[in-house]
Structure 1
Amino acid sequence: MQNRVLLIEDDDELRMLLARYLVTQGFTVREAANGQDGLALARSESCDIVVLDIMLPDINGLDVLRQLRVSAHLPVILLTAHGDETDRIVGFEVGADDYIAKPCNPRELVARLHALLRRIAWDQKAEPNDSRSYGDLRLEPDHRRVRQNGTPLDLTATEYEVLQVLLAHAGRVVRKTDLMQWALGRRLETYDRTLDMHISNLRKKLGNEEPPRIETVRGLGYSYRVVP
């Protein structure tokens, strides 16, 4: 993991401000001012993580994310308008890993980038073949992959992290505050629905069973129910 960031933002002043700050924090930054250029750079395998603005002049950022998810699983942090809950929900459904509201604090962006990259790098240190089974699921940390009945699940980087924590505590309740810290690397804030959206996406990808294998324990958190 080389801390290479692709910054897709059409606001020249903001993009240059963020890029300069990221460089001072040890990141290598590539920039794109529109969706088409951003997609080309993302597909060139020249970055480790993407910071993507939703409001772009040529292609909506959510459409950029949709196209990117067809061929790549790069972690993506969305830049969204302050208070725009709809864009965030759709972004998570499409495959975003996290979001930051604009105008964003560069220090917060760096913290989010480090948290996401650190979790990915930690998993890549797993011993080869250190896979574990949980009923019909098989966790393969060395590949950051989960298989269901032998078929790989199409998970984002953060969905993988959330599911990995729940599997490690299968049958027990994981508090939302702990799950947020362990899987996303940050504190749970009031009205932050990030974790809820990742759980919703995981339930869909696992088959939308009734009762759901990821159970909500009201007032506490979530519990994973192993399915044979």
Structure 2
Amino acid sequence: MKTILIVDDEEKIREVVASYLQMEGYPTIQSGTGQQALELVRGGNVDLLILDLMLPDMSGEDVCKAIRQFSPVPVIMLTAKVSEDDRVQGLTLGADDYVVKPFSPRELTARVKAILRRTQEDTLLAEIIAFHNDDLVIWPQKHEVYKIGKRISLTPNEYKLLLILAHHPNRTFTREDLVEKVLGFDFEGDNRSIDQHVKNLRQKIEADPRKPQYIVTVFSVGYRFTGGESS
């Protein structure tokens, strides 16, 4: 079973969240600081991270940013910040979901299950896909992506988005299509949230994100992957 790391400086919140997750069969680990959370993720035994943004030693944003330097582990941000700018910033840093306090533990548990379902290994089994003379290479069986021979770190949602688009070159996907396929049919946010994931992905795979050669915008509709596969 997947192990969930709960990071919050309030022990009562950690205990409540842990109890709901454990009732669903998920082993949990708890941490009250950002530094300890980083050490636990580096240990490699964490499958999903629930991360509060207000921590005593460092901000949750900094924790998420640091994790994205070495791990694609899914991150759900847990916070009292409610503005759209805060949500966009969280997604920009690599979070996979954003839950605002006060929250329903049942809803949080449902979001955990949805994210883990989307990242199951059986969705990743496919042959290696290469584009533009190996400029961009996707290795699904290893869950790895390479740009000009160098491995790049993608969040689970970024990887899922890239895989969906790359498997259907030249097909136009609406934002609604991508939200359902990447974020899940139960996602309750704005469809425009997919734009932030596309922006993040372009920063990592495009030579010039302002003039993308792989993921192009289809005005008023959505996006299309245009990379020609290498022979």
**TM-score after normalising by structure 2:** 0.87
**How far apart, in 2, do the equivalents of 1:178 and 1:21 lie?**
31
Q: Structure 2 vs 1, CA of residues 145 and 210 (structure 1 numbering), >3 Å: closer, same or farther?
A: same
The superposition leaves residues 72-115 of structure 1 with CA deviations (integer Å, 9 ceiling, x where unpaired) of: 22221111325232332222222222222222222222222222
Give yes or no for the alignment of 1:133 onto 2:124: no
The aligned amino acid for 1:197 is Q
SS in 1 for 2:130: strand
Following TM superposition, by how much is the alpha carbon of 1:45 offset from its aligned partner in structure 2, in angstroms? 2.0
Query: Where does residue 119 of structure 2 map in the other structure?
Result: 120
**How far apart, in 1, do the equivalents of 2:188 and 2:167 lie?**
24
Give yes or no for the alignment of 1:210 onto 2:211: yes
Query: Where does residue 39 of structure 2 map in the other structure?
Result: 40
Contact (CA 8 Å) 1:3, 1:28: kept in 2 or not?
A: yes
Kindly report the root-mean-square deviation, in angstroms, between the aligned alpha carbons of the 2 structures.
2.2
Give yes or no for the alignment of 1:149 onto 2:148: yes
Identify unmatched segments of 5+ residues in structure 2.
Answer: none
**How far apart, in 1, do the equivalents of 2:61 and 2:212 lie?**
31
**How far apart, in 1, do the equivalents of 2:55 and 2:85 lie?**
17
Q: Structure 2 vs 1, CA of residues 188 and 216 (structure 1 numbering), >3 Å: closer, same or farther?
A: farther
Following TM superposition, by how much is the alpha carbon of 1:202 offset from its aligned partner in structure 2, in angstroms? 0.9
The aligned amino acid for 1:210 is K
Contact (CA 8 Å) 1:123, 1:144: kept in 2 or not?
A: no
Q: Structure 2 vs 1, CA of residues 118 and 190 (structure 1 numbering), >3 Å: closer, same or farther?
A: closer
**How many residues were matched structurally?**
225
Q: Structure 2 vs 1, CA of residues 101 and 212 (structure 1 numbering), >3 Å: closer, same or farther?
A: farther
The aligned amino acid for 2:225 is Y
**How far apart, in 2, do the equivalents of 1:35 and 1:216 lie?**
37
Identify unmatched segments of 5+ residues in structure 1.
Answer: none
The superposition leaves residues 40-94 of structure 1 with CA deviations (integer Å, 9 ceiling, x where unpaired) of: 2222222111110111122100111122223322221111325232332222222
Following TM superposition, by how much is the alpha carbon of 1:126 offset from its aligned partner in structure 2, in angstroms? 1.5
Following TM superposition, by how much is the alpha carbon of 1:190 offset from its aligned partner in structure 2, in angstroms? 5.6
The aligned amino acid for 1:214 is I
Following TM superposition, by how much is the alpha carbon of 1:194 offset from its aligned partner in structure 2, in angstroms? 2.9
**How far apart, in 1, do the equivalents of 2:217 and 2:124 lie?**
31
Following TM superposition, by how much is the alpha carbon of 1:5 offset from its aligned partner in structure 2, in angstroms? 0.1
More displaced 10-residue stretch of structure 1: 68-77 or 181-190: 181-190
**How far apart, in 1, do the equivalents of 2:189 and 2:36 lie?**
36
**How far apart, in 1, do the equivalents of 2:94 and 2:14 lie?**
23
**How far apart, in 2, do the equivalents of 1:191 and 1:69 lie?**
24
Following TM superposition, by how much is the alpha carbon of 1:119 offset from its aligned partner in structure 2, in angstroms? 2.3
Identity %: 36
Contact (CA 8 Å) 1:79, 1:100: kept in 2 or not?
A: yes
**TM-score after normalising by structure 1:** 0.88
Q: Structure 2 vs 1, CA of residues 82 and 66 (structure 1 numbering), >3 Å: closer, same or farther?
A: closer
Contact (CA 8 Å) 1:123, 1:141: kept in 2 or not?
A: no
